[in-house]
Structure 1
Amino acid sequence: MDWQEVAGNWVIIPRHPIAIVHFLGGAFVATAPQLTYRWLLEQLAHQGYAIIATPFVNTLDHGAIARSVLNSFETALDRLQATAAMRRRYLPIYGLGHSMGCKLHLLINSLFEVERAGNILISYNNYPASQAIPFIQQFNINPAFNVEFTPGPIETNTLIAESYPIRRNLLVKFTNDTIDQTTNLFEILQYRYTNMVSLQILPGSHVTPLGQDIAWATGREFTAFDALGQWVKQEFLYREQLQLKKEILRWLNPALPG
């Protein structure tokens, strides 16, 4: 399977897709999700999930970004549904977000009428601009001049608590993530949809979803040394990413063997 560009989105379509995953990445790595999140997204595609990853450039107006990425996604989806791989088939749509991408999915579902079978929200981040953007304090010399995201953190939480309609959600928090706010989000969603929100705490850090594949060049014959290399990759280089992949796939399809 190869990546293709469709209406500004980066897309992988398996031969027989079983569902669609709309992916949105973190604030400063979202411009090329087919590169920065390649390993994770391709792993999901290999399990039959069509991936539509929408790039975006971060600005202070997060509501406008949410509208823009939704328009881009729906344009790509319309074009893909005219292809042989997806024509005349109903496929459930799941949102998958990392860091700021979580906030955008939450805004998309709270502000606009969209259909989602569920959302997967990894390392949710909803900090004010003064904490989220390095050196933003230098723009706040005049107390009357305040630089902040729209909607801001409090407004975003209120919007989610009052208007977020997606009942089934998987929240992922990593043990070594100092900028994660998943616990706060879990409390909001748990109050709104009791027993429909799952929280998984996994080993890793805020950048765990960005893990990349490292090619292991084998010789003409697969040797014990090659087997050792593969074991090292799985046990040490990819342990956290493999656990994340496992939890996402198990939540997407609970019928799969553990």
Structure 2
Amino acid sequence: MDWQEVSDSWILIPPRPKGIVHFLGGAFVATAPHVTYRWILEQLGRQGYAVIATPFVNTLNHTAIARDVLNRFETTLYRLQTKTILSKRYLPIYGVGHSMGCKLHLLIGSLFSVERAGNILISFNNYPAKRAIPFIEQLNINPTFDIEFTPSPIETNDLIAQRYEVRRNLLIKFTNDDIDQTASLTQVLQQRFPNMVAVQTLQGNHLTPLGQDVNWKAGDVFTPFDAIGQWMKQGVYRDLNQLKREIVRWLDPFAAT
């Protein structure tokens, strides 16, 4: 399998896919998701899921971003089907998001008519612009004008509570993540869809999904630096593999991981 760019999305298509993953990454690493999230996305490809990763550039208008990434996803999917790269037979579509990508999937599921078999929301956060974007206050020349995302965090929560239509959801949080807001999202989704929301707390931090293949090779003489490198590699793989196992188990409870 090799990454290809189709209609401004990056795709990874395994032989005879059993489902489709639409992936959206975090705010400042989403411009090249096939690079920044390569390991975890390629693992999903190896498990038989076609991956469509849609890049985006963060702006204050999150509604516009959600509309744009959905349009590009649907255009990409249509082109893959018309070119018979993907079969036109039914394949379940799952949204997978990390950080801001979670908010975008939640907005897509609240504002637009989409068919989703479920969403996986990793390290959700919904902070106001002043906290989410460094130095944004320096742009606020007029003190009476408050710079904020559209929709605002409060408006986003209200939209999810009233209009979110994706019933099956997996929420993942990490033990060492100070900016995670999964707990508040869990309450909203469990009230809307009781017994359809799963929550997993895994070892790791907010950047764990960005982990890559650590190619550390020891020299002829094993040094303390080699020991540190091997320890880091083991830690990265432990957290990444745990994340992969939980995602794959939720996507297909009968799959071998």
Report the Cα distance in structure 2 between the residues aligned to 1:257 and 1:4, rounded to whole angstroms: 27
What RMSD over aligned residues (CA atoms) do the two structures have, in Å?
1.8
Unaligned runs of 5+ in 1: 218-230
Alpha-carbon deviations, 1:55-84, whole Å to 9, x = none? 000000000000000010000000111233
Matched-pair contact (CA < 8 Å) for 2:216–2:233 = no
SS of 1:88 mapped into structure 2: coil
Equivalent AA in structure 2 for residue 237 of structure 1: V
The aligned amino acid for 2:174 is F
Give the drift of 1:137.
1.7
Alignment-derived partner of residue 45 in structure 1:
45
Deviation at 1:133, TM superposition (A): 0.3
Find out whether 1:109 has 2:115 as its counterpart. Answer: no
Bigger Cα displacement from structure 2, 108-117 vs 248-257: 248-257
Runs (4+) of structure 1 moved beyond 3 Å?
A: 231-235
Is residue 16–residue 85 contact of structure 1 (8 Å, CA) maintained in 2? no
- Secondary structure at the counterpart of residue 121 of structure 2: strand
Match of 1:155 in 2: 155
Q: How many residues align?
A: 247
* % identical equivalent positions: 67
The correspondence of residues 42-191 of structure 1 with structure 2, limited to 5 A, is 42-140=42-140, 142-191=142-191
Aligned to 1:235: 234
Deviation at 1:255, TM superposition (A): 1.8
Matches of 1:156 and 1:232, distance apart in 2: 40
Say if 1:22 and 1:53, in contact at 8 Å, map to a contact too.
yes
Note the C-alpha offset of 1:53: 0.1
Residue 226 (structure 1) aligns with: none
TM-score by length of 1: 0.91
Q: Give 1:122's aligned amino acid.
A: I
Q: Is the 8 A contact 1:15 1:85 kept in 2?
A: no
Distance 1:95 1:194 in 2: 20
Judged with a 3 Å threshold, the aligned counterparts in structure 2 of structure 1 residues 85 and 142 are, in CA distance, closer, same or farther, namely closer
Q: 1:220 matched to which residue of 2?
A: none
| Partner residue, 1:252 | 251
**How far is 1:145 from its partner?**
1.1
Q: TM-score, normalised by structure 2?
A: 0.92
